[in-house]
Amino acid sequence: MARSTFVGLVQDRAPDRACSDGGRDGHRSCDRGRASRRARLAAGRHARRAEDAGADRDIPRCNDETDQFEFSVHKQPQLNNAREHAWRERLKPYYTEFGIDPAAPVPSSNRTPFDVALCAAVEEIKPEVVSFHYGLPEAALLKRVKDAGCVVISSATTVAEARWLEANSCDVLIAQGYEAGGHRGMFLTDNLATQVGTFALVPQIVDVVKLPVIAAGGVTDARGIAAALALGASGAQLGTAYLFCPESKILAPHRAALKAARDDGTVLTNVMTGRPARGFINRVMRELGPINDIAPEFPLAAGALAPLHAKAQAQGTGDFSSMWAGQAASLGRELPARELTAKLADEAQALMRRMAV
Amino acid sequence: MARSTFVGLVQDRAPDRACSDGGRDGHRSCDRGRASRRARLAAGRHARRAEDAGADRDIPRCNDETDQFEFSVHKQPQLNNAREHAWRERLKPYYTEFGIDPAAPVPSSNRTPFDVALCAAVEEIKPEVVSFHYGLPEAALLKRVKDAGCVVISSATTVAEARWLEANSCDVLIAQGYEAGGHRGMFLTDNLATQVGTFALVPQIVDVVKLPVIAAGGVTDARGIAAALALGASGAQLGTAYLFCPESKILAPHRAALKAARDDGTVLTNVMTGRPARGFINRVMRELGPINDIAPEFPLAAGALAPLHAKAQAQGTGDFSSMWAGQAASLGRELPARELTAKLADEAQALMRRMAV
């Protein structure tokens, strides 16, 4: 099943753990006074992994809020043998370097797009919130999700995508700015040159949709939360901030990269998975990317990288690992998730009070 | 002389005209309560064109504030005949299309970097503020500017550039985010892939320098001003917003592009001048760019485009014109500069009061 990545919260309800393993894993802090009920619902839920959803319905909850599941709705890729071959040829020197047989089969991706089976699981579990990345599922499946009573969230990277999501029955929008860590949710465009910074994106989306808008991308501390609300967002989604938490399941090189984070230490790359995503610059991104047309279609590129990731990772490096992070990673603090959440809420409220003086 | 591009203001002192002709032309709105005296000085001045400085010291002032001059400190380019030739060859089909002799001499750029002569003019006029783009002038010239009593401002596009500017005696920093219109001030890096969005850049710079920081890039309305202050900036610089003013001297196609602005309607391009700058996508950017290695070194690329600009412009198109704008251009309002300024100040203050509720 597709992984679920969101961790949500409202200001006065802190989850006691972070489920984060990547830049898109997110906590949301929501402005209670201004958000609509739906935004508050969307922002007030704590996710559990969709992978676990069918197998285990007794996952400990972080608070008394209902679950949120996240699914990818990417188009299933067509296997292109020539492109796959070119990609493996390009990676061959690395295989040789690590003593891996370049002819050995590589794992295929487990990133299944949302489908009938997953939809049936949603209907059974009835999570309060279901979020999608790369648009929305086909209308019939979306209707089933909504008929199950779920609030539907998806990400927009442009005003055009925001309009499309609103026109296609999305309930809450995430405005995902250029600074955001992890995969860009872009689905109506593949032009990275016209992707929009959070500062410019949020108010322009807020102005043209009626739906609640959650700001994402570069929001790591209380200043970011206050700024997101100033720009007109109903809430803010923090991803990278929670990767710092001791509860976060990221691997050691990723954690080390977070501690050494710089403003200019990330790029948008397609070489890790085949779709553009923002992460800390590693060796393969530096040597083959950040953008390279030979990377197979998402998520196939990740397959041939997996053995290299495993070997390099075992040696303590993230040279071949996705280490997603946003551009404001350096503002993160290593605090337990609950404590971080409480601090962020207090600090954001205090800051907003000071701004009125 | 280098063109001057800044228009500054404080919240309660509105200039009565906009001197804007490009995205970097800026009005600054400054948070009086929090800004240091130097920031207020920097933000409270109204610019006049440096081109006019020597010739005419009786330029009407917009208010009772002192002038601010802006200079470029780019390295004088080495003429590379092969590259120039390749560029003109690439543009030849356009020359033919417009009936221009491709062999005719093209104008050379009048963008002279700050030098001894300009420094002497500064010493004579003693503007209260002198701002630089692309770093700072050599130490001896900078010392003369500071000895003349001028407050020195420059732009940083990364934390590293901010540290450098502080270490090299800059008085006030502009944090120029990825969204900003016009030329990027980058001077320690030429890597566009690691340029930082305003939302992420401002707090990271604020945290490592003691100097006042002015946020720029995507700030077009009161929400942006409040957000900039929330992120820790002492003030905000608005460029694109003032291009809308009737007083703005931009050409008709530029004004038309502003009225039709979209969030995803600009790109960073080097084909207009040789250095990366953000502007509305035009024909030459679409067909040759946005980034193309054959564009000659800044500012030489602009030379061969000038005849095309003139012809296309006469036909009412901006196909070959620099139409600088930031990513939040769609938020602009066509109001007289003084009225816009007063509105922005009122609205930002009201918004900040509401945020405290």
Interface pTM (ipTM) of the complex? 0.86
B4/B320: higher pLDDT? B320
Residue A261 to residues A255, A326, B207: CA-CA distances in angstroms? 10, 10, 14
**Which candidate from B263, B328, B352 shows the least CB-CB separation from A158?**
B263
Residue in B with minimal Cα distance to A262: B159
Contact B198 A194 (CB under 8 A): no
**In the predicted model, what is the mean pLDDT of chain B?**
84
Name residue A192's beta-bridge partners: none
The whole-angstrom separation of Cα B68 and Cα B127 is 6
pLDDT above 90 as % of chain B = 76
Option in B191, B198, B267 nearest A197 (CB)? B198
Q: What is the mean pLDDT of residues B315-332?
A: 97
Question: Is the predicted pLDDT of residue B193 greater than 90, yes or no?
Answer: yes
The mean pLDDT of B60-80, rounded to a whole number, is 74
Whether the pLDDT of residue A167 is over 70: the answer is yes
Q: What is the pLDDT of residue B105?
A: 87
Give the model confidence (pLDDT) of A99-122 as tens digits. Answer: 999 988 888 777 889 999 999 999
Specify the DSSP element, H or E, that contains A46.
strand A46-47
Which has more confidence, B106 or B15?
A: B106
Domains, chain B? 27-74+111-250+327-355 (3.20.20.70)
pLDDT at B133: 97
- Averaged pLDDT for residues B214-238: 98
The partner residue sitting opposite A179, judged by closest CB among B199, B205, B326, is: B199
Mean pLDDT confidence for B167-191: 98
Report yes or no: A229 at the B interface, CB cutoff 8 Å. Answer: yes
For residues A171 and A148, the answer to whether their CB atoms sit within 8 Å is: no
Least-confidence region, from A333-347, B32-46, B302-316? B32-46
Kindly indicate the confidence band of residue A65, based on its pLDDT and cuts at 50, 70 and 90.
Answer: low
Average pLDDT, chain A: 84
Report residue A232 as tokens: 């007109």
Per-residue pLDDT at A305 exceeds 80: yes
Helix, strand and coil content of chain A, in percent to the nearest 5, comes to 35, 15, 50
Contacts of B290 in chain A (CB under 8 A): 193
Per-residue pLDDT of A170-226, as tens digits, reads: 999 999 999 999 999 999 999 999 999 999 999 999 999 999 999 999 999 999 999
Q: Give the Cα separation of B293 and B288 in Å (integer).
A: 10
Model confidence at B76: pLDDT above 70 = yes
Q: Which residue has the higher pLDDT, A16 or A141?
A: A141
Does pLDDT of B325 surpass 80? yes
Q: How far apart are alpha carbons A13 and A27 in whole angstroms?
A: 11
Q: What's the pLDDT at A355? A: 92
- As a whole number of angstroms, the distance between CA A135 and CA A113 comes to 11
Would you call A357 and B264 a contact, using CB atoms and an 8 Å cutoff?
no
Mean pLDDT of B208-230: 98
For chain A, say whether B308 makes contact (Cβ under 8 Å).
no
Side chain identity at residue B235, one-letter code: G
Per-residue pLDDT, B307: 96
pLDDT for A238 equals 97
Task: Determine contact: A198 vs chain B, CB below 8 A.
Answer: yes
The better pLDDT of the pair A35, B330 is held by B330
Q: What is the pLDDT of residue B356?
A: 86
pLDDT on residue B39 = 31
Residue numbers in B near A223 (CB within 8 A): 203, 230-232
Does the structure show a pLDDT above 70 at A50?
Answer: no
- Return the percentage of chain A with pLDDT > 70, whole number: 81
The pLDDT value given to residue A95: 97
* The predicted structure's pLDDT at residue A112: 86
Residue A136 has pLDDT above 80, yes or no: yes
Tell if the CB–CB gap between B191 and A264 is shorter than 8 Å. Answer: yes
Q: Among A52-61, A79-88, B293-302, whose mean pLDDT is lowest?
A: A52-61
Is a pLDDT exceeding 80 seen at residue A14? Answer: no
Res. B21: pLDDT tops 70:
no
B282 pLDDT higher than 90 = yes
Please give the pLDDT value at position A23.
34
Cα–Cα distance between B3 and A176 in angstroms, integer? 36
B200, A179: Cβ pair inside 8 Å? yes
Inform me whether the pLDDT recorded for B54 exceeds 70: no
Would you list the DSSP string of A74-94? PPPPPP-HHHHHHHHHHHHHH
Identify each DSSP E strand in B203-342 by its residue range.
213-216, 235-238, 266-269, 277-280
pLDDT value at B285 more than 60: yes
pLDDT (0 to 100) of residue A62:
38
Contacts of B197 (CB under 8 A, 6+ apart): A177, A178, A179, A197, A198, A199, A217, A218, A327, B177, B178, B179, B217, B218
Chain A to chain B, count of Cβ pairs less than 8 Å apart? 170
Q: What is the average per-residue pLDDT within A322-327?
A: 98
Chain A hits for B179, Cβ within 8 Å: 196-197, 199-200
- What average pLDDT does the segment A75-97 reach? 93
Q: Which residues contact B269 (CB under 8 A, 6 or more apart)?
A: B276, B277, B278, B279, B285, B289, B290, B291
Strand partners, B130: B69, B152
What residues pair up with A28 in beta bridges, in sequence order?
A237
User: With 70 as the cut, is the pLDDT of residue B63 above it?
Assistant: no
Q: Are B327 and A357 in contact (CB < 8 Å)?
A: no
Residue B40 has pLDDT above 60, yes or no: no
Closest-CA residue to A179 (of A133, A228, A145, A134): A228
Query: What average pLDDT score do residues B121-146 get?
Result: 97
Torsion (CA) A298, A303, A304, A309 in degrees, nearest 10: 110
pLDDT greater at residue B292 or residue A44 = B292
The whole-number average pLDDT for the span B163-176 is: 98
